[in-house]
Amino acid sequence: MLYRDGDPIADTRAPQGPLETRWERRRFSSRLVNPANRRKLTVAVVGTGLAGGSAAATLGELGYNVLSFCYQDSPRRAHSIAAQGGINAAKNYAGDGDSVHRLFHDTIKGGDFRSRESNVHRLAEVSTSIIDQCVAQGVPFAREYGGLLDTRSFGGAQVSRTFYARGQTGQQLLLGAYQALARQIHAGTVRSHPRTEMLDLVISDGRARGVVVRDLVTGEITTHLADAVVLATGGYGNVFHLSTNAKGCNTTAIWRAHKRGALFANPCYTQIHPTCIPVSGDHQSKLTLMSESLRNDGRVWVPLQAGDGRAASQIPEAERDYYLERMYPSFGNLVPRDIASRAAKAVCDAGRGVGPGGLGVYLDFADAISRLGRDAVAARYGNLFEMYQRITDEDPYQVPMRIYPAVHYTMGGLWVDYDLRSTIPGLFVIGEANFSDHGANRLGASALMQGLADGYFVLPAVIGDYLADGPFDAVDANAVDEAEDGVREMIDTLLSIDGDRTAESFHRELGRLMWDLCGMERSEEGLRKALELIPSLREEFWRRVKVTGTGSELNQALEKAGRVADFLELAELMCVDALHRTESCGGHFRVESQTPEGDARRDDERFSYVAAWEFTGVGEPPVLHREELSFEAVRPTVRSYK
């Protein structure tokens, strides 16, 4: 048995009535906590990326007593920092017809009609405030000579609504949040715990009441109690081993919360980014993204003939296939990510790929350089070109870049309602760690928007309604002991196996398996095979893993092993989810469900729902709770970018 059916999710707590006024009404209906009482309430925020950093800072500004945790040595290093391209906002500063409704519409469509209208509309509304907030903080967005903000276009949109800071937008936004956080640390409202990893959630009297953490320097296991816990720990793309995520990104916090009862929604929705630097060998430790913004000016092509071994410059124009422009004339090179990725895979599978192993397509700037001049291209993409040259030893001003899709983002995550509450009372989940706003595919420049929307504006506005019932009763000491004992036991077990394989080698094997069988294309046969292989790999891990050192010191091998152990469990749920969803939608492409032209075929009759999974035990069939999606403002159609 793959899974069991459970009760549907009846209530998402979204306000009723006209879509446009729901958020306003929620802000009014949400109870407030008076300033004197906020001091008595503690909120633990795990993760310091755009969502966690901005949430901790804002809750601190409001006067709550905030505990902030991150595994990095400084909150400034969370992986949001690596986001390159930009952040969407419905400012319509370009005067090109943008509006809140259009951003809402593009995001619903981009997500292939698998996200909630209420949430997405709120995101579009809040987007404009984010830009105001960041500018006030001193985020140095790109500007025009008149002193006003510049914007550019991103995939899946026909307007120019993406604000950016060269190719380092994530860095600049994160430093804005980090500085706001630093101000609160200085003011004493936030206590910062860097190099600290959350390893379990404490639940007392049915409520999330704290986190069990390991001090990564001393190895000490401690519990931090709180009145509410916020997880902002990012996505789980590293289940594929090779991804554009940072090496440390992991699923541990959300997975262990899932094991404590939080439902995990749409785990199979993963985003494969079309423009990454191809793999160069077995030693590869991570993949590097080349920003989607490059598709504004770069043209994607492959040779017309399979097996054409000539250098790019030797291939005449007539023998090139600009396949995105050919297949999708109205969006051209700016089709959404899922479509661009699959098209790249299709041409490579047809033997027309370029570079080592034929796993690459060209992204060519020759036209842009002759049209705009080298300097203008350098001003837009200079740092990206430099990064590319450093890694590949090739000069993209002279020869086209070679790119190939890579895992980049996970749309799935812990299930949350309209108020960002998970199914465990008192546990809130924000940013990439939740599933809420991107449906089956996220549009470019929308992750930064969602992270900051949740952290600066949404969570601070809704958390009060929960905390108004606090401070809560004393935490059951047994609950703390039980959670801490579990954590210590797992660490002791990992250290005692003393096998003959490193955690890294298991991670690599799991990643390859997931990429092959649960990656860009999924089939029933492949997924069933994965569901046989994963449990046996997990069994082997617990028999053969070798972790050196002890638990009471800085031990990076131990950190890694714990994270891989969780990935080995999550991978199975991803495959179950992918297998049960026999339709194709967004980033989830089932070979059995495609049009004669090879496009994704959705099945709204059967699958217009969020799949929220309940944990029942490792290797046990999970229970499926369906949240039906209904569309009032946008009618689901076949997503066409032709």
Out of 33, 44, 180, 213, the only residue in the binding site for other proteins (CB under 8 A) is 180
Residue 375 CA, distance from chain mean position: 34
In the block, tokens 């789980």 appear at 236
Helical pair 477-497 and 556-580, crossing angle rounded to 10 deg: 100
Pseudo-torsion of CA 80, 413, 247, 53, nearest 10°?
Answer: 30
Under rule CB under 8 A, which residues in 377-406 are in contact with other proteins? 387, 390-391, 393
Q: Whole-angstrom Cα distance, residue 254 to residue 431?
A: 12
In the block, tokens 């399979």 appear at 306
Out of 35, 206, 351, 549, the only residue in the binding site for other proteins (CB under 8 A) is 549
For the CB of residue 410, give the shortest distance to other proteins in the complex, in Å: 17
Under rule CB under 8 A, which residues in 189-218 are in contact with other proteins? 192, 194, 217
- 24 touching other proteins, by CB under 8 A: no
For the CB of residue 508, give the shortest distance to other proteins in the complex, in Å: 10
- Binding window for other proteins (CB under 8 A); candidates: 200-208, 244-252, 480-488, 598-606: 244-252
- Binding window for other proteins (CB under 8 A); candidates: 186-194, 197-205, 335-343, 518-526: 186-194
Binding mask 32-61 for other proteins (x = CB under 8 A): ----------------------x--xx--x
Out of 546, 580, 601, 626, the only residue in the binding site for other proteins (CB under 8 A) is 546
Residue 170 carries which DSSP code? Answer: H
Q: Whole-angstrom Cα distance, residue 518 to residue 578?
A: 8
For the CB of residue 224, give the shortest distance to other proteins in the complex, in Å: 19
Under rule CB under 8 A, which residues in 438-457 are in contact with other proteins? 456-457
Q: Whole-angstrom Cα distance, residue 26 to residue 466?
A: 13
Q: Centre a 10 Å sphere on the Cβ of residue 93 and count the other Cβ atoms it contains.
A: 18
391 vs 474 by CB, closer to other proteins:
391
97 vs 307 by CB, closer to other proteins:
97
Q: Whole-angstrom Cα distance, residue 562 to residue 578?
A: 25
Asked whether the beta carbons of 400 and 363 are under 8 A apart, the reply is: yes
Binding mask 123-162 for other proteins (x = CB under 8 A): ------x-xxxxxxxx-xxxxxxxxxx-------------
- Binding window for other proteins (CB under 8 A); candidates: 67-75, 251-259, 296-304, 564-572: 67-75
504 vs 604 by CB, closer to other proteins:
504
91 vs 342 by CB, closer to other proteins:
91
- Binding window for other proteins (CB under 8 A); candidates: 78-86, 221-229, 369-377, 404-412: 78-86
Q: Whole-angstrom Cα distance, residue 432 to residue 451?
A: 7
179 vs 222 by CB, closer to other proteins:
179
Q: Whole-angstrom Cα distance, residue 59 to residue 558?
A: 33
Q: Is 383 exposed, middle or buried (0-12, 13-18, 19+ CB in 10 A)?
A: middle
Under rule CB under 8 A, which residues in 501-530 are in contact with other proteins? 502, 504-505
For the CB of residue 424, give the shortest distance to other proteins in the complex, in Å: 26
Asked whether the beta carbons of 462 and 420 are under 8 A apart, the reply is: yes
- 283 touching other proteins, by CB under 8 A: yes
Reduce the DSSP state of residue 518 to 3 states and report it: helix
Under rule CB under 8 A, which residues in 310-339 are in contact with other proteins? none
For the CB of residue 244, give the shortest distance to other proteins in the complex, in Å: 8
Query: Distance of CA 79 to CAs 250, 314, 625, Å?
Result: 11, 40, 31
For the CB of residue 161, give the shortest distance to other proteins in the complex, in Å: 13
Out of 121, 122, 166, 588, the only residue in the binding site for other proteins (CB under 8 A) is 166
Out of 12, 92, 118, 172, the only residue in the binding site for other proteins (CB under 8 A) is 172
- The residues, any chain, with a CB within 8 Å of residue 365's CB and separated by 6 or more, are 294, 297, 298, 299, 377, 381, 396, 397, 400, 401
Under rule CB under 8 A, which residues in 451-490 are in contact with other proteins? 456-457, 460
What are all long-range contacts of 129-134, with beta carbons under 8 Å and residues at least 24 apart? 129/456, 129/457, 130/87, 130/89, 130/449, 130/452, 130/453, 130/456, 130/457, 131/87, 131/89, 131/91, 131/163, 133/452, 133/456, 134/87, 134/173, 134/176, 134/452
Asked whether the beta carbons of 630 and 119 are under 8 A apart, the reply is: no
- Binding window for other proteins (CB under 8 A); candidates: 281-289, 344-352, 360-368, 487-495: 281-289
- The tokens describing 348, both together, are 């490579």
For the CB of residue 279, give the shortest distance to other proteins in the complex, in Å: 10
144 vs 489 by CB, closer to other proteins:
144
288 vs 594 by CB, closer to other proteins:
288
Reduce the DSSP state of residue 202 to 3 states and report it: strand
Under rule CB under 8 A, which residues in 583-642 are in contact with other proteins? none
Out of 93, 240, 362, 541, the only residue in the binding site for other proteins (CB under 8 A) is 93
Pairing type for strands 151-152 and 162-163 reads antiparallel
Under rule CB under 8 A, which residues in 551-590 are in contact with other proteins? 553-554, 556-557
Query: Which residues are catalytically annotated?
Result: 337
164 vs 567 by CB, closer to other proteins:
164
Q: Whole-angstrom Cα distance, residue 616 to residue 518?
A: 22
110 vs 455 by CB, closer to other proteins:
455
Q: In what order do the strands lie in the sheet with 162-163?
A: 87-88, 162-163, 151-152
For the CB of residue 290, give the shortest distance to other proteins in the complex, in Å: 10
For the CB of residue 286, give the shortest distance to other proteins in the complex, in Å: 5
For the CB of residue 570, give the shortest distance to other proteins in the complex, in Å: 20
Q: Whole-angstrom Cα distance, residue 139 to residue 374?
A: 27
For the CB of residue 82, give the shortest distance to other proteins in the complex, in Å: 5
- The tokens describing 40, both together, are 């008595």
**Nearest to residue 452, comparing CAs of 85, 167, 87?**
87
- 82 touching other proteins, by CB under 8 A: yes
Out of 17, 95, 97, 281, the only residue in the binding site for other proteins (CB under 8 A) is 281
178 vs 323 by CB, closer to other proteins:
178
142 vs 346 by CB, closer to other proteins:
142
How many residues lie near other proteins (CB under 8 A)?
Answer: 80
